[in-house]
Structure formats: C-alpha cells, structure tokens
C-alpha cells in the first residue's frame, strides 16, 4: 500500500498536477515520521518504553491526526537535516533552536519552549573573566549545533578563539569530559545542564551566551505549510490546556533547584551508607512492586539512610514512620532497618491505592509521595482547590501549586482538613525526584560496566542478538 501511495504521488507530479498537501499525504499514508535525538531532553527508551518530552508531544499530535507515530533516532544533530531534505522524515522534534543556517533549509513552527545557552567549566579549573580569557584554552562543542554557530559568531569578535567540533557525541558526553578534566569548556543548553549537574556537581556556568533561545519543531521548506500549521494549532492548544506544562514538569520540574552541597553529600552517602541497605530496598521493591530506586530515594529524603534517625516530632527510622503508622503496619521496632524499609514500601503502596484511578503515571507516584509526607486528606484538599480553580486535579503540576495554598487562610479556611505547610510536600517530592534520577543514572552506569566485563560473543555465534532501532 505504501508503494502504491508513493506511485500515486509520482504520477501526479509526472502529469504536472500538484501533490496533495503534506498533512493529507500523512493521513493517507497513516504514518507521521519524526526524526529526533536520543537524549534526556528529547527522546529515550525508559523502563516503561519510549519516553521524553518530544516523544510525549509528537505521540499526542499523531494521536490527534489519527496516524501511527514512527520515530527515527539519529546519533548527531548534523544528521537531522538530511533526513528532512530527502523526505525520510516529515518533521524534526529534537529540541532544535532556530539558527540562521537552519532557516535557510527549514521552516520552524510555534516555539514551545526556550533555553539559555550556558558556557560550562569545572569548579577550581580557573574561571575566565571574559571571552578573551578563553583564547588558547580547550573548548569542544557538538558539530552542526547551535553551539557551534555561537562559537563561529564569537570568533568574529575574538579572532584568536579556537574550538573543536565533534559530531559523534552528545552534550552529556562533553559535560562528562569537563567533569573529568579532559576538557576545559563546553556549551550546554539550560535544560540539558539542569539535568546533568546533579550527576556532576562540580560543573558551573561561566556565563550565558544566549538567553531565551526559542525551541521549535522543524519542517522541510518547500513542502507547503499544511503540516506546520496543523502542528502549530496543536501546540497552541497544548499550551492553553496545560498539557505542555505537564510534560515540562514531568521531565524538567525536579531539575529547577540545585543544592551543590546536598548533591555531593548524596553521592558520598550512595557509596558509604546505601550498600548495607540496598538488598533490603531491592527485596522490598520486588515484594510491593515498586522500583527499589524510588524507595531508596524516599529513604534518603526521610533519614539520609540513617537507621537510628529521630525527628523532633517523634518519627523515626530509615523511612521515618510515625508511631501510628507503625502500629497500623504492625511494626514492632521502627529502628530496625528491614522493618522500616518494608513498612515504608507498604505505606507508600497504600498511598498509591488511595490516589484516584484517573491519575496516570508518573503523576500518580508524585501524588503518592506527597501523601506519604503531608497525608492523603491534605492532598485531597489540594485536588479540590484545583477543581475550584478550573485546573486538572489529575496532574501533579496543578496539584503541587494548590498544595502551596494550604498555608494561605483564604484557601485553607475553605477546605475540609484546613491548614497545612503545603510547601513541604512540594519540596519533598522534588528532592525525591532528584535523588531517584541520580540513583537511576548511577545504576544504569553500573549495568553498562557489568556488560563491558562480560565475555564478548564470538563472530557467527548463535547467541548474538541484533537490537533494532525504535522504528
């Protein structure tokens, strides 16, 4: 059918007839082909399948069009333009900024995000006072990116400035090189840096080379604007409905605040404290069908993985259970690490069960964590406030804002359970999301290291498995 469809298009062109608008071609084909990059800020395959801010948006857009989404990932930014120019992809959703060179070949749609362009160095490596101080020092950026164009612009003003362009890496690789003293400087967009700085807490922003750089979907020039206009309509609706804000919160909400000292302490405690409790977290996670890394992140937020932790209010143990909660869970000794961890896993599961079925993941998990901290009744009050305000009580981004209002008399006087220190569960959830993200990153690197230690499959062996790309 696909060959017949392309043959029809070719015949129309051959008889001097104009082909149908691109949006009609896509609907007739039944596929929306999107090229993107495999990065935390665009698209990746997580434990539950494809994910990422760009993926969530284009998947919803394809659903609206009533077509199948076909994702093609490329290894570098420089590969995106050829995919669009030769018709392999209908559009690019890869966190692209609207650079001058790209505008010569591409049309950009409605900006749905913006980023700041940071110059990055490592603390203690000698902070430059101006761009002049970069002359003679090692700088590396991604080839074909907006970062390479920025370096070219800077070189017009600072003729001695030199840098290296690399088409075989992503920003995370360059940030790692700076953190490991293999490179002095690189450039990263704020969304990427905000994620990675939790893994490399010694990295710092020297200065902003650009502020508020708009990000948009890209389309081949000359294909008509039917797909671009339909995409713009979709993004504007997503903005107005709050779906865009929900996507941004899902992937970037936990990255906005950064505690340098706290992050370094967490990394140290991961090596010194967690090992003695990790098997218990893993077993409790299996027993209650919860990612053990989430349980560990929760435990760190509660006690910094200290089994004898006690708060001024009397909660105690690794998972900081109250006396009433321990009695409800039939826990005899809250200071016993295993009892506390298993109890915390069960208690979190109970909170999950109380969240309405209309709440999807990951919002369901964030609300359950908030309930673990502030109590389900206050969470329910916050959801009621969201309804009064005309928001969506099924989204954490709206509920988290309403929780803050529970310390405001105008609002807490109207809800059933009254006053609460609503900012605490919001900070609580954001911290856990940060810790969870770091643990996932560390354990993923552990898995890669284990794979590297495994015997390599001999050529021609029947045990060799070829892993196909997402498309």
Alpha helices in 336-408 (DSSP H): 337-354, 363-374, 376-389, 396-404
Alpha-carbon torsion, ordered 293, 297, 298, 303, to 10 deg: 130
Closest C-alpha among 400, 297, 290 to residue 347: 290
**Positions of E strands within 102-183:** 106-108, 113-122, 140-142, 164-166
| CB-CB contact of 28 with 19 (8 Å) | no
Euclidean distance between CA atoms 238 and 232, whole angstroms: 10
Residues 62-87 as b or e (16 or more Cβ within 10 Å = b) = beebebebbbbbbebbebbbebbeee
Active site residue 162: no
Residue 195, classified by CB atoms within 10 Å of its CB into exposed (0-12), middle (13-18) or buried (19+), is buried
| CB-CB contact of 202 with 123 (8 Å) | yes
Q: What number of residues does the chain have?
A: 471
| CB-CB contact of 246 with 237 (8 Å) | no
Closest C-alpha among 39, 25, 85, 31 to residue 58: 31
Residues 414-442 as b or e (16 or more Cβ within 10 Å = b) = ebebeebebeebbebbbbbbbbbbbbbbb
Distance from the Cα of residue 259 to its chain's centroid: 18
Residues 149-181 as b or e (16 or more Cβ within 10 Å = b) = bbbeebeeeeeebebebbeebbbbebbbbbbee
Distance from the Cα of residue 22 to its chain's centroid: 31
The C-alpha angle with vertex 253 and arms to 247 and 254, in degrees rounded to 5, equals 135
Residues 327-366 as b or e (16 or more Cβ within 10 Å = b) = eebebeebeebebbbbbbbbbbebbbeebeeebeeebbbb
Q: What one-character DSSP code corresponds to residue 333?
A: -
**What tokens were used for 221?**
């020039």
Q: 144 Cβ partners below 8 Å, 6+ apart?
A: 76, 77, 78, 81, 165, 167
Q: Give the active site residue among 302, 353, 361, 448.
A: 302
Closest C-alpha among 346, 359, 368, 328 to residue 289: 346
Active site residues: 302
């Amino acid at each position: 059918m696909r060959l017949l469809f392309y043959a029809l298009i070719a015949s129309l062109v051959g008889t001097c007839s104009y082909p149908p608008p691109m949006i009609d071609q896509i609907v007739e084909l039944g596929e929306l082909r999107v090229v993107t990059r495999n990065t935390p800020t665009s698209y990746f395959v997580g434990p539950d399948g494809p994910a990422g801010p760009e993926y969530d948006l284009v998947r919803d857009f394809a659903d609206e069009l009533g077509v199948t989404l076909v994702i093609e990932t490329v290894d570098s930014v420089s590969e995106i333009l050829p995919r669009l120019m030769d018709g392999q992809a209908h559009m690019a959703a890869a966190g692209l900024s609207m650079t001058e060179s790209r505008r010569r070949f591409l049309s950009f749609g409605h900006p749905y995000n913006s980023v700041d362009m940071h110059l990055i160095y490592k603390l203690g490596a000698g902070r430059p006072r101006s761009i002049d101080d970069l002359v003679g020092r090692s700088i590396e950026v991604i080839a074909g990116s907006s970062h390479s164009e920025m370096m070219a612009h800077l070189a017009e003003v600072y003729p001695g400035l030199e840098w290296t362009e690399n088409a075989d890496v992503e920003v995370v690789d360059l940030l790692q090189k700076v953190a490991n003293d293999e490179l002095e400087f690189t450039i990263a967009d704020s969304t990427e840096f905000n994620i990675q700085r939790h893994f490399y807490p010694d990295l710092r922003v020297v200065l902003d080379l650009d502020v508020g750089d708009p990000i948009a979907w890209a389309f081949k020039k000359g294909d008509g604007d039917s797909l671009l206009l339909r995409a713009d309509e979709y993004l504007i609706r997503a903005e107005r409905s709050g779906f865009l804000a929900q996507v941004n919160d899902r992937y970037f909400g936990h990255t906005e605040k950064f505690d340098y000292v706290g992050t370094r302490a967490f990394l140290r405690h991961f090596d010194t404290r967690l090992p003695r409790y990790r098997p218990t977290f893993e077993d409790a996670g299996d027993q209650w069908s919860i990612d053990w890394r989430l349980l560990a992140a929760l435990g760190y937020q509660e006690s910094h993985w200290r089994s004898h932790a006690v708060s001024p209010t009397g909660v105690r143990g690794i998972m900081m259970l109250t006396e009433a909660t321990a009695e409800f869970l039939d826990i005899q000794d809250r200071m016993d690490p295993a009892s506390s961890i298993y109890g915390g896993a069960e208690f979190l599961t109970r909170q999950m069960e109380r969240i309405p079925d209309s709440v999807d993941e990951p919002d369901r998990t964030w609300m359950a964590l908030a309930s673990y901290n502030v109590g389900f009744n206050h969470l329910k009050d916050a959801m009621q406030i969201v309804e009064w305000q005309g928001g969506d009580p099924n989204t954490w981004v709206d509920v988290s804002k309403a929780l803050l209002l529970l310390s405001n008399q105008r609002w807490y006087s109207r809800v059933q359970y009254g006053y609460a220190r609503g900012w605490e569960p919001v900070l609580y959830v954001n911290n856990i999301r940060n810790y969870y993200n770091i643990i996932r990153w560390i354990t993923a690197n552990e898995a890669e290291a284990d794979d590297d230690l495994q015997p390599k499959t001999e050529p021609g062996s029947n045990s060799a498995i070829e892993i196909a790309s997402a498309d």
